[in-house]
Structure 1
Amino acid sequence: MSRVTAAAPSPAPSRRALLLGAAAAAPLVAIGAGPASALGGFQDAAGLHRVGEWIHPDIRSVDFRVDTGGMVTTFDPSIRVTVPPSYEEDPERTYPVLLMLHGRGGFYQDWTNEGGVVEQTEQHDVIVVMPDGGAGSFYSNANFPLPGREAAWESFIMDQVLPFVHANFRTDRSRMAIAGLSMGGWGALALGQRYYGHFRSISSYSGPADCNPATLDGAAVAGAIWACPGFDAVKYWPTSNLPGATWGADLYPEIAKGYNPIDNVGTYRDKRVFLRTGDGPWFDFFDGLEDHPDIWSTLQAKLEQIGADIIENAVHPNLERFSGALGEAGIDHDFDIAHGATHNWDLWRDNLAEDLPGMMAALNA
């Protein structure tokens, strides 16, 4: 990994069916059993009504499926909350909160299943909150949903999920961080600046920071934001919205400027800002194909890598430009390029591991 530290210069069957089946099969663990014994007594709060609740002592976590009261009607979203090992030791102690956002096509279990968040936070006293965010919401409300298909993901997370967690867990709401990968990295940057007083630390792993179509990579981001509401159709086709549901038909309407990180550089002042990206090299496509015993599997993997590389190749200059804008504004931040890395979990696990010590310091944890 080649470090490019930038400091201020001086002068995303259907997944719903699968989840419902898994939830029905999952054992309900009795309160008082195992390391999660301090968990329980949960209540509805902030407009969220619990329609399912599962405690997982082995991963120090609780899953909730919730009815949002109309905020999100495309499906009943879920939330996973992971507590630190010390949570049951002192019933009076409060903990900082890390809000972690998944990427496009992802869901609330991604950071556990792929990101190793349980293992990586084993030594850190922090409550991790991982909500569903829609397959392609870019963590904005859908301002132009189809009738009866409300998808206000931003309001769900900020106005319902976080208050629900504060009401049910021993949190210190004055010490919060937000982080995410890809679409979730964009979400971390966008929500981090839109809700200025909420987060001390803001982290983006392969998440873009500019949706202005004036540049090629910015146009790619704007196009993704426009098209991605349709990705819900892969998982929830009867209730998905159409492309353009987020901000309308235009690629860069006025509302976009309130989300676009690079248009709001000043709001990152006095925050810890952590930015990571790979450079997505795909010049080695034919390496390893010759005389391979399973050439078709290898070819498929190569094609999947190219898709990841193309995305990272767009994110890389986009995030680099944002780093430059922060530097020009005199805003300290930490930007790094992982050469040879691409848009996948290998990179994002490494990003989280590198990020956590500085994040915990910012949270006084």
Structure 2
Amino acid sequence: MAVGMPRFAATATAGALALALTLGSVAPAGAQLGSIDPATLGPDDLETIIEAVGSVPLGSTAGSLGSVGSADIPLGEGSSAPIGTPSPVDPSITETEFRGVERTRGEYQYWIVASESMQREITVEVVPSRGEGAAPVLYMLDGVGAPVSSTGWNHQGQIADRLADEDVHVVNPAGAFASYYTDWEQPDPVLGNNKWETFLTEELPGVVAEQLETSGRNGIGGISMGGQAAMHLAATHPGLYDAVMSFSGYYSTMDALGYQTVRLSVETRGGQVDNMWGPHRSGRWAENDTISHPEGLRGKAVYFSSGSGEIGPEDLQEYGGGADVQNLLIGLVLEKGVREGTEAFERALDRANVDHRVDYSDTGLHNWPNFLKNFEAGWEHIKPALED
């Protein structure tokens, strides 16, 4: 019996999830898990999944659970502490400034930038262009697990190697754990003082232009939470970004699925979601609902992709050959929700006459192997917009 099955079988007693988790071997379990419809999951199933989401640090969100309805899903007992503690507020920080390169690791530089809006220091992971002369800037955003001192675009994405032959500066802000890269209404006791939209759009570009020779062209991208934020920032600040790419993002904050995505991502990590945008359906929530106002994406190179929620060979490898049923199941449910949201976003862009490219994979759960399988396609689609 695969690792984790006894715990799940004891608690998950309803719907397709319970059936899958009572199976006794990896191969049939994979087949059954790949056919789970999130809408069939019962309350006991959801509580089990949420407890797992809260106790396992993931680079993803818990959004697809929202497909069962708009009522708040129970959080369970677990929570996932930030990977590192956000730097404390320093009232003496009254301007944004570059404070130096803290360290280097191969092609990666780790800048310390003091943020006026957040009144704290931010680590920014930078891979300067290896070409000569001015180059465009590509900002890449992490998922919900965003560590404080480095990013998944190094450790999981190996982005320096992926773009080794490209004339582009890569800039990855670190430490935006469960923040949605947005301006929070007020500081959170656990997640700190977050004014990421201001930092990314008003403060960091000036620092980058001072330290690197830039062409004036900018792109932004991300995975999961970071993909959702990248699409919002590109639509909301059309004069700043020329291109955007998102891998397994979700683009609504107002529908039931999007609401649960955001709430669970924040609250299973110890934050209080009302500290971010206030009560659900307030104006701030609506502002971040890109699917309802995608017009700001017109004229840009727009790329996004999704897996299917069906288990593929890369997924089995990622989850220990299928033995890590707990994380495999979470990744399955999340990507099924992402697929639904990606299809809805495609329809919204079509209605708004926004040119775009979207790729759907036949398999893929909510994990880095799935995110990265479409990276080259995304880069090739947005690259011309950064070179003009």
TM-score past 0.5 threshold: yes
Distance in 1, Cα, partners of 2:350 & 2:85? 47
Corresponding residue number in structure 2 for 1:84 = 129
Q: Describe the shift of the 1:82–1:51 C-alpha distance in structure 2 as closer, same or farther (beyond 3 A).
A: closer
Aligned pair partner of 1:53 in 81, 102, 107: 102
Residues 230 and 243, structure 1, Cα contact 8 Å, conserved in 2: yes
Residues 177 and 199, structure 1, Cα contact 8 Å, conserved in 2: yes
CA-atom RMSD, angstroms?
Answer: 3.0
Which digits, 9 at most, give the CA deviation of each residue in 1:10-37, with x for residues without a partner? Answer: xx59633799xxxxxxxxxxxxxxxxxx
Residues 98 and 179, structure 1, Cα contact 8 Å, conserved in 2: yes
Which digits, 9 at most, give the CA deviation of each residue in 1:279-302, with x for residues without a partner? Answer: 112599xx99xxxxxxx9656523
Cα distance, 1:62 vs structure 2: 1.1
- Check if 1:212 corresponds to 2:254: yes
- Check if 1:106 corresponds to 2:146: yes
Distance in 2, Cα, partners of 1:247 & 1:255? 5
Corresponding residue number in structure 1 for 2:274 = 244
- Check if 1:228 corresponds to 2:257: no
Residues 307 and 362, structure 2, Cα contact 8 Å, conserved in 1: yes
- Check if 1:268 corresponds to 2:297: yes
Aligned pair partner of 1:349 in 372, 382, 385: 372
Distance in 2, Cα, partners of 1:221 & 1:195? 22
Corresponding residue number in structure 1 for 2:308 = 279
Residues 279 and 339, structure 1, Cα contact 8 Å, conserved in 2: yes
Question: What is the percent sequence identity of the aligned residues?
Answer: 22
Aligned pair partner of 1:167 in 195, 200, 210: 210
Distance in 2, Cα, partners of 1:334 & 1:178? 15
Distance in 1, Cα, partners of 2:126 & 2:94? 15
Cα distance, 1:140 vs structure 2: 1.1
Residues 101 and 109, structure 2, Cα contact 8 Å, conserved in 1: no
Q: Describe the shift of the 1:312–1:363 C-alpha distance in structure 2 as closer, same or farther (beyond 3 A).
A: same
Cα distance, 1:244 vs structure 2: 2.0
Q: Describe the shift of the 1:283–1:98 C-alpha distance in structure 2 as closer, same or farther (beyond 3 A).
A: closer
Residues 226 and 251, structure 1, Cα contact 8 Å, conserved in 2: no
- Check if 1:320 corresponds to 2:320: no
- Paired residues, number: 298
Aligned pair partner of 1:303 in 307, 326, 329: 326
Distance in 2, Cα, partners of 1:72 & 1:302? 42
Q: Unaligned regions of 5+ residues in structure 1, if any?
A: 1-11, 20-43, 214-218, 234-240, 289-295
Distance in 2, Cα, partners of 1:18 & 1:146? 11
SS for the counterpart of 2:172 is strand
- Check if 1:361 corresponds to 2:387: no
- The residue type paired with residue 169 of structure 1 is L
Q: Describe the shift of the 1:246–1:206 C-alpha distance in structure 2 as closer, same or farther (beyond 3 A).
A: same
Corresponding residue number in structure 2 for 1:330 = 353
TM-score with structure 1 length normalisation?
A: 0.74
Distance in 2, Cα, partners of 1:223 & 1:355? 27
Distance in 2, Cα, partners of 1:167 & 1:361? 24
Q: Unaligned regions of 5+ residues in structure 2, if any?
A: 1-58, 60-80, 88-92
Q: Describe the shift of the 1:161–1:298 C-alpha distance in structure 2 as closer, same or farther (beyond 3 A).
A: same
